[in-house]
């Protein structure tokens, strides 16, 4: 604990019930809810309000993808009976639009926190004892915070590979990819997870020749196998060179781009080249530089270790979101914030159930899922019934001109409860809401099929998949 003599006079001293580190979706939700419950709350943020999600993740990515979607529709205009001049993509203008969206939401975050009575302190948080942290700006302490409880919502950062450190020009991360001034003629995207898939689709639509490389045997390796296979087919149809079960090595940078050796399992290595390489190989927690050892908070493999209710090894300190690992999703962080704040309030909330958290990938076709895949259900000993329905048979999908994809539902054969839902197709990310509710309430195929769905809508495909499951 600080003595007043240890810090300069201009340092602000703050005593609060709760100090939150990080203003992303989890940190924002925690600070807002705690303040609403009557706690005195401060929030420490070293960057722009809203965290990575608002500033360099979820929001700007979706703004870019929307521009690519509009651009693609222009190219398909004649199929809708519309004559349009040859469209061109202005990447600088696309990026400018995405940054405008970001700034609006970041300002909104600050306004809401201020209106809620949360004191926002700009700077880097550093624990100096289990109940005290310093807030640093340019290495200088500007505030000393003493708190009864802490919630660490410091987020994550993109994982780097040795020899593939980003230089911002030839080797880039998704952050640089969100702010390029012009479209590269060619690009290699390393990583077939959500970030790699979204970036590969965007830059393909923007005009790059894209090679998407994934080390695992399939794209989106954590998703249902049928979904991965369908996405790969759609991507190849869109002109993306998808290479799975592959490793990229011997990467060298030259004046004209990068050259690398692409080794596919069971085949000889071949040389590949591109203007740039986008590395999207995962995320690690922002644990460094927080002084966690001074607070008695344990870490393991790049993430903070937590037990029930998101508690760390220091019982008064909680960790939520990407910094504690698990599913690296904004809405998971927000759900964990509720659990942590309720626990501080003296309640006994149920922990977040990851089988009830939806997952979305915003390419075209989009991918959305919740719960267990067919293989996961079988591996866990369930006997399953599967229901499928193709979007190609949907009146609304035909009217839209977007026929790719399907809905796949996994039910427990023993009691007919929904175990998992998996969608690939236009609008999948919006359809997952109904299935998240169905999974949360553990509804049956019969109940889902009995719900009257509006016609014509894409949501009818969900009902038809449930009906299909009942036939097996």
Write down the CATH number for the domain with range 355-470.
3.30.390.30
C-alpha count within 13 angstroms, C-beta hemisphere, residue 355: 15
So what's the pLDDT on residue 6? 52
How far are the Cα atoms of 180, 335, 433 from residue 430, in angstroms, in the given order?
Answer: 29, 19, 6
DSSP 452: P
Q: Residue 239 has which token pair?
A: 């002109």
So what's the pLDDT on residue 139? 93
Enumerate the β-bridge partners of residue 261: 249, 271
So what's the pLDDT on residue 84? 85
Q: Which residue from 152, 70, 135 is spatially nearest to 322, judged by alpha carbons? A: 152
Query: CB atoms < 10 A from the CB of 457, how many?
Result: 16
The C-alpha angle with vertex 259 and arms to 257 and 261, in degrees rounded to 5, equals: 160
Residue 38: Cβ-neighbour burial (10 angstroms; 0-12, 13-18, 19+): exposed
Q: Which residues of the chain have pLDDT under 70?
A: 1-9
Model confidence pLDDT, tens digit, residues 171-207: 999 999 999 999 999 999 999 999 999 999 999 999 9
Give the C-alpha separation, 277 to 168, whole Å: 10
Show me where the domains of the chain are located: 4-158+284-352, 171-281, 355-470
So what's the pLDDT on residue 268? 84
* Dihedral of alpha carbons 96, 101, 102, 107, sign: positive
Give the C-alpha separation, 359 to 328, whole Å: 10
Enumerate the β-bridge partners of residue 368: 360, 423
For domain 4-158+284-352, the CATH class is alpha beta
Active site residues: 455
So what's the pLDDT on residue 472? 83
Domains 4-158+284-352 and 355-470 share a fold: no
Task: With both helix axes pointing from N to C terminus, report the angle between 58-75 and 91-115 in degrees, rounded to the nearest 10.
Answer: 140
How far are the Cα atoms of 169, 185, 209, 252, 277 from residue 273, in angstroms, in the given order?
Answer: 15, 11, 11, 10, 9
Give the C-alpha separation, 185 to 198, whole Å: 18
CATH superfamily, domain 171-281, is FAD/NAD(P)-binding domain (3.50.50.60)
So what's the pLDDT on residue 441? 97
So what's the pLDDT on residue 7? 53
Give the C-alpha separation, 316 to 293, whole Å: 15
So what's the pLDDT on residue 254? 86
């Amino acid at each position: 604990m600080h003595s007043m003599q240890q810090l300069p006079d201009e340092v602000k001293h703050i005593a609060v019930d709760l100090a939150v580190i990080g203003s992303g979706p989890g940190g924002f939700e925690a600070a807002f809810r705690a303040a609403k419950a009557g706690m005195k709350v401060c929030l420490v943020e070293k960057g722009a309000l809203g965290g990575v999600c608002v500033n360099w993740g979820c929001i700007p990515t979706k703004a870019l993808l929307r521009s690519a979607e509009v651009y693609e529709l222009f190219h398909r205009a004649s199929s809708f009976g519309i004559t349009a001049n040859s469209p061109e993509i202005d990447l600088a203008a696309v990026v400018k639009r995405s940054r405008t969206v970001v700034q609006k939401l970041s300002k909104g975050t600050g306004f809401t926190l201020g209106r809620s009575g949360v004191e926002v302190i700009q700077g880097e948080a550093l624990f100096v004892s289990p109940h005290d942290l310093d807030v640093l700006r340019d290495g200088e302490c500007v505030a000393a915070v003493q708190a009864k409880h802490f919630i660490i919502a410091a987020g994550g950062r993109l994982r780097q590979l040795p020899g593939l450190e980003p230089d911002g020009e030839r080797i880039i991360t998704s952050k640089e990819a969100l702010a390029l001034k012009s479209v590269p003629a060619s690009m290699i995207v390393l990583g077939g997870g959500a970030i790699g898939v979204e970036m590969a689709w965007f830059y393909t639509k923007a005009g790059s020749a894209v090679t998407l490389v994934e080390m695992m045997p399939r794209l989106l390796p954590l998703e249902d196998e049928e979904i991965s296979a369908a996405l790969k087919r759609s991507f190849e149809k869109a002109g993306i060179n998808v290479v799975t079960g592959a490793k990229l090595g011997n990467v060298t940078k030259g004046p004209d781009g990068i050259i690398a050796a692409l080794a596919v399992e069971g085949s000889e290595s071949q040389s590949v080249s591109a203007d740039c390489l986008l590395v999207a190989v995962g995320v690690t927690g922002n644990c460094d530089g927080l002084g966690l050892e001074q607070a008695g908070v344990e870490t393991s493999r790049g993430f903070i270790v937590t037990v029930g209710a998101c508690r760390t090894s220091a019982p008064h300190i909680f960790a939520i979101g990407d910094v504690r690992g698990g599913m690296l999703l904004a809405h998971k962080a927000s759900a964990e914030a509720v659990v942590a704040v309720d626990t501080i309030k003296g309640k006994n909330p149920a922990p977040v159930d990851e089988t009830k958290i939806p997952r979305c990938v915003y390419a075209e076709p989009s991918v959305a899922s919740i719960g267990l895949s067919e293989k996961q259900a079988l591996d866990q000993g369930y006997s399953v019934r599967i229901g499928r329905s193709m979007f190609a048979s949907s009146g609304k999908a035909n009217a839209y001109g977007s026929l790719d994809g399907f809905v796949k539902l996994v039910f427990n054969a023993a009691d007919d409860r929904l175990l998992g839902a998996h969608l690939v197709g236009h609008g999948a990310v919006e359809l997952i809401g109904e299935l998240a509710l169905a999974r949360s309430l553990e509804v049956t195929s019969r109940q889902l099929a009995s719900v009257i769905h509006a016609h014509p809508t894409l949501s009818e495909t969900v009902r038809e998949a449930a009906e299909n499951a009942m036939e097996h």
